[in-house]
Amino acid sequence: MEFSKEEISKKASNCLGCKVKMCQKGCPLGNDITTFIQYIKEENYEKAYYELCKTTVLSPICGRICPHKSQCEGSCVRGIKGESVNIGNLEAYIGDLGLKEGYSIPKFTTENKEKRIAIVGGGPAGLTAAANLARNGYGVTIYEKYNTLGGILRYGIPDFRLDKTVLDNQIKKILDLGIKTKCNVELGKDYTILQLQEEYDAVFLAFGANISAKMGIVGEELEGVFGGNELLEHNTHPNYTKKSVAVIGGGNVAMDTARTIKRLGAEEVTVIYRRAQKQMPAEEKEIQDAMNEGIHFLFQTNLVKIMGEKSVERIECIKTELIKKEGETREVPVDINGSNFELPMDYVVMAVGSKPELELVENLGVELTKKGFIKVNENYQTSNPKIFAGGDISGAKATVAWASRSGRNASDEIIKFLEK
């Protein structure tokens, strides 16, 4: 994100420096936003960097991809009557400067403690937990099934949203804290949870939940029906040339998938979402960018059926109306009888949520929730007190900042457990 010092100074000058820091309350990581922006105003960029380091190790990443309008910027007092402070750009600028100038992530202690922790998964929760533990003097080893770390940051977010050079450089900075890695090893195949328990003093499970959920409708088994998570993770796409593609869902996976498919040459991409645009969980900017790129949207529309002989040929949809039901916190989409219509379609991509890999989690020997996530208590402990879990695999809110917070909080609880 290229901004001049003058542009950044202007963005920072919009901050009122509120005593009651609503922006900080809106940030899942609790970044002290007004303080780091004050340092920018004073052109003390190094201090701004170290202020952010108190609560996050992913500033150049979160500054780019967080849903700021529903988090920090959405809580900004400036936004009540006008434009909120552009916190994301400011955070990314300082994070990038930290990479450029070689600022290190400071440790909290110089003591090297004997206790060792294994972390399974090198995504935002795992990286943040590893960094926090290493900063507190503990020996940490990250186990990763792919040959490089990053998790969803690398395998779930397209390059046009997150430059992987930035990711690589930030991961290196985190590993420079003294963190060890074991890549190309998969839990349940190359090693077991029992082996980790025997070798380490604590284990943190943070390998995500990246299996696309299904709707349970007719035709989902046809050729040409894909999961959005899998398309992004494995980057194995069919030939979209002169094809029509329907993407079902309204979150960031839906936006990332739709925009990726459009870039890969699809003639027409249509996002189908059963609620209104204002209710979409995707970041407002991502929705607008998708629209600007020529992606069509069908709001208040539900997918009913996928039709074809062996592969997708057409889909049946139905219009919905939003009704406020007793006991519900928001309006519920209800199908409108007789509003069914069909559309010719070549591919359908499901982006209606994700779930854990059932076979993997069932063999961990820990209690699961009804939805198949790893069940944890308020201390992020599983039913096995030596094993902790966080991020998507424990059902945490599915944004990078919330996953990172989960990793940080879990690592704090691991420290308490180890110091008993």
Instruction: Please indicate, yes or no, if residue 365 is contained in any of the structural domains.
Output: yes
pTM of the model: 0.94
Instruction: Please indicate, yes or no, if residue 110 is contained in any of the structural domains.
Output: no
Number of domains in the chain: 3
Instruction: Please indicate, yes or no, if residue 111 is contained in any of the structural domains.
Output: no
How large is the average pLDDT for residues 330-342?
A: 95
Q: Give yes or no for residue 332 having a pLDDT over 80.
A: yes
Chain mean pLDDT for the chain: 95
Q: What does the buried/exposed string (b/e) look like for 333-347 if buried means 16 or more CB atoms within 10 Å of the residue's CB?
A: bebeeeeeeebebbb
Q: Domain end: 101, 131, 151, which one?
A: 101
- Do both 124 and 27 map to the same domain? no
Task: In whole angstroms, give the CA distance from residue 53 to residue 211.
Answer: 32
CATH number for the domain spanning 142: value is 3.50.50.60
Task: In whole angstroms, give the CA distance from residue 106 to residue 134.
Answer: 10
- The alpha-helical segments, DSSP class H, found in 176-281 are 193-199, 228-234, 252-263
- Do both 245 and 350 map to the same domain? yes
Banded pLDDT at 325 (limits 50, 70, 90): confident
How large is the average pLDDT for residues 203-226?
A: 95
Residue 148: left (phi > 0), alpha (psi -120 to 50), or beta? Answer: beta
Question: Using the 8-state DSSP alphabet, how is residue 295 labeled?
Answer: -
Q: Which residues pair with 187 in a beta bridge?
A: 191
Give the type of residue at 161: R
Q: Domain end: 310, 330, 354, which one?
A: 354
- Do both 389 and 270 map to the same domain? no
- In whole angstroms, how far apart are CA 281 and each of 71, 231, 276, 298, 352? 12, 20, 11, 15, 11
Domain holding 287, by residue range, is: 212-354
- The alpha-helical segments, DSSP class H, found in 293-395 are 358-362
Banded pLDDT at 329 (limits 50, 70, 90): confident
- Do both 342 and 365 map to the same domain? no
| pLDDT value at residue 88 | 96
Banded pLDDT at 55 (limits 50, 70, 90): very high
Task: In whole angstroms, give the CA distance from residue 159 to residue 163.
Answer: 5
- Do both 52 and 91 map to the same domain? yes
**CA end-to-end distance (rounded Å), the chain:** 45
Q: Give yes or no for residue 395 having a pLDDT over 90.
A: no
- Do both 260 and 286 map to the same domain? yes
Instruction: Please indicate, yes or no, if residue 106 is contained in any of the structural domains.
Output: no
pLDDT tens for each residue of 83-123: 999 999 999 999 999 999 999 999 999 999 999 999 999 99
| pLDDT value at residue 326 | 81
| pLDDT value at residue 1 | 61
Share of the chain above pLDDT 70, in %: 100
- Do both 248 and 343 map to the same domain? yes
CATH number for the domain spanning 92: value is 1.10.1060.10
- Do both 350 and 360 map to the same domain? no
- Do both 264 and 338 map to the same domain? yes
How large is the average pLDDT for residues 24-41?
A: 97
